[in-house]
């Protein structure tokens, strides 16, 4: 796609400084950009590349404008502007024409919109519903009584188990599994007895789930993913989890069963959340954190030990093992001082 800088400025409500007729074809970093590219500056650590950039234009904030040697789009949030402009320049793969591939296997009771595209080797079970303009990628499987809304994009090899409900404008990347059994079992004298997982999964509108992530079905009630949620690759969502609107979860996060996460939260990569917890709205949990208690106040929360040289780390671990003894000795000293 090719846009003029004036057209882009109008589409993202940016203040234009420079040639409105400048043609923009691609996005690029400040350091690597050339003619026809648009770049952005949202992090001051990259300011050193601005003066030498060869980009045709840069998206930036007002305070950076005096340093910019090329055309500029001034916005309060340059990174958001970049996101919108990148979406205009790279609208994504064109969905194939509506229709059903000859190799697809579709139960006669399924209700498939005439505008949907069903790719090769797709399997759609009894009483499924697929909405208008939805794309179902090759090798995807829909179990019995699955409902997929309109304008969804299911990449290849997605699995939606029985009774799953997917809203509108949902994107599921390759390898996503929705509605597999939750990790529920009872112990009988050292042997495990599976508990039937009779709930389902409800995914609201405008949700995106990354490759090879899994969302387990509820044990009794449903697992629920709120509107606008973003889930990265390799995330495990346990049974009966509830994730609020517009929450973002980075890769390799594990969320144990029956935990409720509020709206607009951000959970960093590889964080682990215990079961039966409540995380309120507007909470940020940094990467590799271990969450064992509910969080009742908005804010930024962290745990874990940052990377150290191995020798320092080993010394710190050794000292940590004596923490209880040091605490007791300090308490005794304080008591004697008070006396």
112 by Cβ neighbours in 10 Å (0-12 / 13-18 / 19+) ranks as buried
Q: Which of 32, 8, 27 is nearest to 18 (CA)?
A: 8
Give the separation between CA 268 and CA 251, rounded to whole angstroms.
Answer: 8
Give the separation between CA 146 and CA 130, rounded to whole angstroms.
Answer: 8
Q: Where are the alpha helices (DSSP H) in the chain?
A: 5-12, 78-89, 310-320, 323-338
Q: Is 84 a catalytic residue?
A: no
**Active-site position among 84, 162, 239, 322:** 239
CA distance to 14, 17, 27, 325, per residue, from 3 (Å): 15, 16, 12, 68
Residue 101, Cα to own-chain centre: how many angstroms? 31
Q: Which of 68, 58, 5 is nearest to 32 (CA)?
A: 58
Catalytic annotation, residues: 239
């Amino acid at each position: 796609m090719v846009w003029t800088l004036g057209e882009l400025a109008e589409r993202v409500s940016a203040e234009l400084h420079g040639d409105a007729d400048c043609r923009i074809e691609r996005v690029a970093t400040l350091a690597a950009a050339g003619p026809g590219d648009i770049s952005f500056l949202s992090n001051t650590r990259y300011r050193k590349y601005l003066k030498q950039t060869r980009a045709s234009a840069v998206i930036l904030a007002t305070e950076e404008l005096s340093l910019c040697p090329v055309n500029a789009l001034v916005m309060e949030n340059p990174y958001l502007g970049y996101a919108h402009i990148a979406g205009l320049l790279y609208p994504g793969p064109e969905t194939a024409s509506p229709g059903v591939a000859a190799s697809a296997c579709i139960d006669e009771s399924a209700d498939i919109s005439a505008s949907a595209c069903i790719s090769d080797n797709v399997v759609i079970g009894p009483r499924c519903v697929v909405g208008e303009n939805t794309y179902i990628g090759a090798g995807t499987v829909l179990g019995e009584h699955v409902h997929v809304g309109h304008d969804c994009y299911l990449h290849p090899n997605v699995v939606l188990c029985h009774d799953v409900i997917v809203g509108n404008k949902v994107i599921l990347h390759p390898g996503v599994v929705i509605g597999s059994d939750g990790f529920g079992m009872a112990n009988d004298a050292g042997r495990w007895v599976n508990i039937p997982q009779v709930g389902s999964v409800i995914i609201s509108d405008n949700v995106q789930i990354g490759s090879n992530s899994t969302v387990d079905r509820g044990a009794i009630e449903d697992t629920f993913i709120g509107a606008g949620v973003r889930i990265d690759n390799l995330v495990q969502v346990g049974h009966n989890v509830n994730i609020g609107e517009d929450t973002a979860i980075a890769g390799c996060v594990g969320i144990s069963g029956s935990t409720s996460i509020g709206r607009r939260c951000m959970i960093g990569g590889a964080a682990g959340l215990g079961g039966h917890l409540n995380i309120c709205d507007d909470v940020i949990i940094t990467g590799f954190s271990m969450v064992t208690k509910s969080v009742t106040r908005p804010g930024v929360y962290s745990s874990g030990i940052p990377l150290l040289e191995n020798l320092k780390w080993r010394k710190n671990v050794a000292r940590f093992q004596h923490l209880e003894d040091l605490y007791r000795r300090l308490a005794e000293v304080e008591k004697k001082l008070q006396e």
